[in-house]
Amino acid sequence: MQIKVIENKKKYYALSCIVIGLGLLFMVINMVRGQGAFSKDIQFTGGSLIQVNVNQSFSNDLRDQIESITTEVTGHDNINITSSGETGVIITMPQTATDIRAKLFDQIKEKYNLQDSDLLADEDVSASISKDIQAGAIKAVVAGTILILIYISFRFKDYRFGASAVAALVHDVLVMLAVYAIFRVPLNNSFIAAMLTIVGYSINDTIVVFDRIRENKVRRGLKENELASIELVDDSVNQTVGRSVSTSFTTIIMVILLFILGTDSVREFAFPLIIGILSGTYSSIFIASPLWYDLTSHSVKKNQAQAKTGKKKVKKA
């Protein structure tokens, strides 16, 4: 089955815009609710933490019960509850006074018939990811993106390849941010790791497709100032789509297993990674290639129009 990428490019652009638009909408809704655009773990904001041995396996019902008790006692809505070991529970919350945390443990202790020794940790936690580190990370991403643009433009001797690849990367980052906003996945160290993983995965996939486009251009004798045909792009994508899908499929199986079998902290990393792999594969095939075609077509047509205008001026003279 031949995938008609260029013919259906508007549909692919629209799908991406819808997903990213939903993410922006949820960010606004979250901010209006006073929850912040994203749910931030205490690694970003600092806060308080208590760890309790509840002597039972972690479940969604247990999470909901403890979350309800915590909200009632502390008055906080931004609470994150995760499992720790077989019967442990970690409750992280915004900065909370010691006496209120003591009251919270008393409530949990009474609810689950616990002992004083079941309180495993009770402490304030400073933000491990400071504003300086966040600013540095943003600068590093921007600098890396510029270097990627320069490298790909130099390697393919065409800035339009670089611009399309960077646009696909921005697309993947925005999709990931949308997922974090919609599903309220907490921003923590895993967020940074997931983002870097997806950026590397996506750019590699995109370069494979672009390599095939360049090879087919040479094979068909196309010059820089000649318009690339729709067939050239579609053929190039179809020749590489099997490799892209196979690689993504084998990778995503392992990540899904991590999501199913892993702890809450592992799931917080695996879930956005699954979405990121899907988004990276999608953008490499359905976003980067059509963007390159559009940029190339616009540039070639513009040059042809300028050449015609120049010839007319010469004839008049």
Q: Considering the chain, tell me which residue range(s) the CATH 3.30.70.3400 domain(s) occupy.
A: 47-125
pLDDT tens sequence across 127-140: 665 566 667 767 77
For the residues 250-259, what does the mean pLDDT come to?
Answer: 88
> Please, is 47 exposed, middle or buried when counting C-beta atoms within 10 Å of its C-beta (0-12, 13-18, 19+)?
buried
Domain 47-125: which topology?
Alpha-Beta Plaits (3.30.70)
Q: What is the pLDDT of residue 130?
A: 55
CATH dotted code for 9-28+130-303: 1.20.1640.10
Which pTM value belongs to this model?
0.78
Q: What is the pLDDT of residue 34?
A: 77
CA distance 82 to 59: 10
Q: Is the pLDDT of residue 44 over 90?
A: no
pLDDT tens sequence across 273-306: 888 888 888 998 899 999 998 988 887 777 666 6
**In sequence order, what E strands does 44-147 have?**
47-53, 80-84, 88-93, 119-125
SS3 6: coil
Q: Considering the chain, tell me which residue range(s) the CATH 1.20.1640.10 domain(s) occupy.
A: 9-28+130-303
More confident of the two residues 199 and 312: 199
Q: What is the pLDDT of residue 14?
A: 95
Q: Residue 120: how many CA atoms within 13 Å on its side-chain side?
A: 12
Parallel, antiparallel, or unpaired for β 88-93 and 47-53? antiparallel
Beta bridge mates, 144: none
- DSSP-assigned letters across all residues of 224-282: TTSPPPHHHHHHHHHHHHHHHHHHHHHHHHHHHHHHHHS-HHHHHHHHHHHHHHHHHHH
